[in-house]
């Protein structure tokens, strides 16, 4: 009994008041520079008015995570961030695997519950639409995003195909041969053609210039390329190549363009998704200049259903992703992964994420409870929350948030009542989508398929010429052999008729008979 009383008194002694909490949040999320307001912090499941949770623009290139169970509001949080970034003049790129982000192009119709939510938060609600560009990797309508095999490069291609060191060397030789002989590698049929040529018609040429190439190794590479093709990569590789600078456009009102990549038809093709993601990030890293310690990011990149990137990924591919995540922030690029559980993201990548927005997790099994415990350990300790308990009690549109302040320090953990999206929380109608597509400024630039002469056509021509020359040589050899045979053949054994008569046995016997009579 005494122990229980002592415990109770210690709790009262250490208890924090609502005013303490307000000060705690205001101090932790204060910022001198420009910031995005996500909502108001909550205490005892109630929003504390004007205890605003703000994210400095300065730290938005430090990457982030939006996690939570299905139906808890992850997509709406993504939408809120995208809207506010656009309003601040920062372009956005969204990976839309579920097809529910197109509503950004239309203003919210509003609702009394939205007004009530914003009244609790302490900020007004304004409905508005945002400038949107619809992009596509597949046959879905939208601006086509493509890259050539040459731009992808031998290292990244080998990582995606999960090749051995020996096979990586062969891929490097293929690229070197094409460079040395001015053979453009534009699409996968170009790559496959050169691969087949290396152990077929061009075997002697390759052996002389680069050493012998094993047919078993090229066969393995070819099978992996075909597997990639079957996931739809043949639509991605080719021309006209998408220029990543087109992702950083600003509209005439100074708002950043929100680029939405429609990926609803490749959810079950993780290799194609990974291929596209890594290619795009590598191109951005190679193209964008160093930003240094800038006041805001150049581009913010949201990857919905992020677990698909890491699904079935090899160790080499994960290393590549980790390297890009570490390095690309120096180019002013913020990467935000959206997934159900933080454990979907490899630890090496998770450690690089500055902003964490954690929606509710559900505990239905022992495995779920273990996952919640692990998720809770990703967040700072708090005097105001039992993190594990809060994770399972958050409502829709509520989340635990921690970010980085302007000095790069973690902000206090805040259970947050999130503001509502300013745009429509639903998809566009067919007519509205067609209007967006018709008004696209990029479709004329990228939606014309180009199939210029490349390695496939050039090697086919080279093989055809070589075969024709071989045929001509063979014909000349046959003709020459015939002439030789007719000029130096055996003499004819056919006898002249007169000689035949004179040398016949009957003629000789007749002559001998006459001579015998005369001698008598």
**pLDDT tens track for 199-233:** 988 888 899 888 899 999 999 999 999 988 888 88
- Please tell me the number of Cα atoms within 13 Å of 250 on its side-chain side: 11
- E strand or H helix at 364: none
Distance CA 245, CA 349 (A): 26
Average pLDDT of span 441-446: 89
Look at residues 138, 107, 105 and name the one whose alpha carbon lies nearest to residue 233: 138
Q: Spell out the residues 6+ positions from residue 456 whose beta carbon is closer than 8 angstroms to its own.
A: 187, 189, 190, 193
* 298-314 pLDDT, tens digit each: 999 998 888 877 776 66
How many CB atoms neighbour CB 498 within 10 A? 8
**How is residue 450 annotated by DSSP?**
B
Asked if 62 contacts 293 with a C-beta cutoff of 8 angstroms, the reply is no
Distance CA 140, CA 388 (A): 42
Which region among 10-24, 252-266, 308-322, 472-486 has the lowest average model confidence (pLDDT)? 10-24
* 44-64 pLDDT, tens digit each: 889 999 999 999 999 999 999
Asked if 337 contacts 306 with a C-beta cutoff of 8 angstroms, the reply is yes
Which sign, positive or negative, has the C-alpha torsion 287, 293, 298, 304? Answer: positive
pLDDT at 92: 97
- E strand or H helix at 80: helix 74-87
Cα→Cα distances 430→84, 103, 262, 437, Å: 26, 12, 14, 10
* Number of continuous H segments (helices) and E segments (strands) in the chain: 22, 12
Q: Spell out the residues 6+ positions from residue 203 whose beta carbon is closer than 8 angstroms to its own.
A: 213
Look at residues 439, 445, 448 and name the one whose alpha carbon lies nearest to residue 134: 439
Look at residues 25, 24, 39, 19 and name the one whose alpha carbon lies nearest to residue 121: 39
SS3 breakdown of the chain: % helix, strand, coil, rounded to 5?
Answer: 50, 15, 35
Asked if 277 contacts 303 with a C-beta cutoff of 8 angstroms, the reply is yes
pLDDT at 517: 54
Q: What is the mean pLDDT of the chain?
A: 85
pLDDT at 10: 34
Look at residues 279, 351, 288 and name the one whose alpha carbon lies nearest to residue 320: 279
């Amino acid at each position: 009994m005494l122990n229980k009383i002592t415990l109770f008194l210690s709790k009262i002694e250490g208890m924090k008041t609502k005013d303490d909490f307000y000060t705690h949040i205001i101090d932790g999320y204060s910022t001198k520079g420009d910031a995005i307001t996500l909502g108001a912090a909550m205490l005892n499941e109630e929003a504390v008015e004007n205890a605003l949770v703000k994210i400095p623009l300065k730290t938005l290139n430090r990457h982030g995570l939006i996690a939570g169970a299905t139906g808890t509001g992850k997509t709406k949080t993504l939408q809120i961030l995208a809207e506010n970034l656009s309003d601040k003049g920062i372009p956005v790129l969204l990976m839309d695997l579920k097809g529910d982000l197109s509503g950004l192009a239309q203003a919210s119709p509003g609702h009394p519950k939205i007004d009530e939510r914003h009244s609790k938060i302490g900020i007004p609600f304004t409905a508005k639409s945002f400038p949107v560009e619809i992009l596509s990797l597949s046959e879905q309508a939208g601006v086509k995003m493509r890259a050539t095999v040459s731009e992808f490069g031998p290292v990244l291609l080998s990582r995606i195909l999960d090749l051995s060191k020996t096979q990586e060397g062969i891929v490097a030789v293929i690229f070197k041969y094409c460079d040395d002989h001015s053979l453009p590698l534009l699409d996968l049929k170009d790559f496959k053609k050169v691969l087949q040529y290396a152990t077929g018609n061009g075997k002697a040429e390759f052996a002389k210039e680069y050493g012998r190439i094993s047919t078993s190794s090229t066969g393995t590479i070819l099978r992996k390329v075909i597997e990639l093709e079957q996931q739809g990569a043949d639509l991605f590789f080719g021309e006209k190549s998408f220029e990543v600078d087109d992702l950083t456009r600003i509209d005439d009102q100074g708002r950043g363009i929100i680029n939405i990549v429609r990926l609803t038809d490749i959810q079950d093709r993780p290799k194609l998704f990974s291929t596209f993601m890594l290619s795009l990030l590598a191109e951005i890293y190679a193209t964008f200049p160093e930003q240094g310690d800038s006041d805001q990011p150049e581009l913010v990149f949201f990857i919905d259903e992020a677990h698909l990137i890491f699904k079935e990924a090899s160790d080499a591919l994960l290393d590549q992703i980790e390297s890009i995540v570490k390095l690309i922030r120096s180019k002013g690029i913020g990467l935000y992964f959206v997934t159900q559980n933080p454990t979907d993201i490899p630890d090496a990548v998770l450690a690089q994420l500055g902003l964490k927005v954690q929606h509710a997790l559900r505990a239905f099994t022992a495995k779920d409870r273990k996952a919640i415990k692990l998720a809770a350990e990703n967040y700072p300790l708090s005097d105001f929350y039992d993190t594990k308990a809060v994770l399972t009690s958050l409502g829709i549109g509520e989340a635990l948030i921690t970010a980085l302040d302007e000095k790069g320090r973690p902000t206090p953990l805040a259970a947050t009542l999130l503001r509502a999206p300013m745009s429509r929380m639903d998809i566009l109608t067919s007519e509205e989508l067609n209007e967006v597509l018709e008004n696209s400024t990029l479709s004329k630039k990228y939606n014309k398929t180009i199939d210029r002469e490349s390695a496939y056509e050039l090697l086919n021509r080279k093989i055809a010429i070589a075969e024709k020359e071989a045929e001509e040589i063979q014909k000349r050899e046959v003709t020459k052999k015939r002439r030789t045979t007719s000029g130096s053949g055996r003499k004819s054994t056919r006898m002249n008729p007169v000689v035949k008569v004179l040398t016949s046995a009957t003629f000789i016997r007749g002559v001998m008979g006459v001579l015998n009579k005369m001698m008598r």
